[in-house]
Chain A
């Protein structure tokens, strides 16, 4: 399930819906929620504006989720990403992965959020409490994390 939306989301409801869809073989669901935070300790964030590329964005998210499902034993995945103006502490992104086994669920969820941060066409514009605003630059550490999944050898599916 993929959604790019302005509206806020309910993590518990999304998790319960995934549990219902995924069936009785599910042993666990790993979820990740991202929030708007202060990016620098001495300059509080006021708002974050999320721009995206409609169409391509949904396609990339579908592809990332499909890659995760092909790589690990997953019974279902969810990606919800908000766009538009978000206030400090607001929820930005929700990722969930359901599996019979915790290892697949943890790795699937982590892969999706890592891949999303370097492949899905979203851009953040941050406005500080003092009024300054700027486009956030991609961190090299995010790209390194995505690249590391290509070299990862511990990604074989667990036995059912």
Chain B
């Protein structure tokens, strides 16, 4: 264990479902968005009603295959509804 983490940010309904807005998440080596979403689903079963979870890595919209590295800022949210 090297103690490496990513900084997870939760928004809107996702933040309500997990009960927090930010979290340091342990990450060993490199992972992908899809792996992170799967791990989040196991940790937070209450996320199940949230549809089509999206990720932004370091403030850029990212696909599930995108790599996530220790130190990254990763936001988790549902499709946006501004305008």
Contact = CB atoms under 8 A, between A and B. Distances in A.
Interface centre among B56, B77, B82 (most CB of A within 10 A): B82
A99 B83 CA distance: 23
B79 A119 contact: no
Contact of B83 (A122, A135, A137): A122
Given A53-B75, A53-B77, A121-B77, A92 B83 contact: yes
A102 interface: no
B9 interface: yes
Q: In this complex, which of B51, B60, B79 has the most chain A Cβ atoms within 10 angstroms of its Cβ?
A: B79
Contacts of B83: 34, 81, 92-93, 113, 116-117, 120, 122, 142
Given A81-B82, A122-B80, A123-B77, 20 more contacts: A53-B11, A53-B56, A53-B77, A56-B56, A93-B83, A113-B83, A117-B80, A118-B79, A118-B80, A119-B61, A119-B80, A120-B80, A120-B83, A121-B80, A122-B82, A125-B12, A135-B13, A138-B78, A138-B79, A142-B83
Interface of B: 9, 11-13, 51, 56, 59-61, 75, 77-83
Kindly list the 8 A-B residue pairs having the minimum CB-CB distance in the complex, ordered from nearest: A122-B82, A123-B12, A138-B79, A117-B83, A56-B59, A135-B13, A136-B81, A124-B81
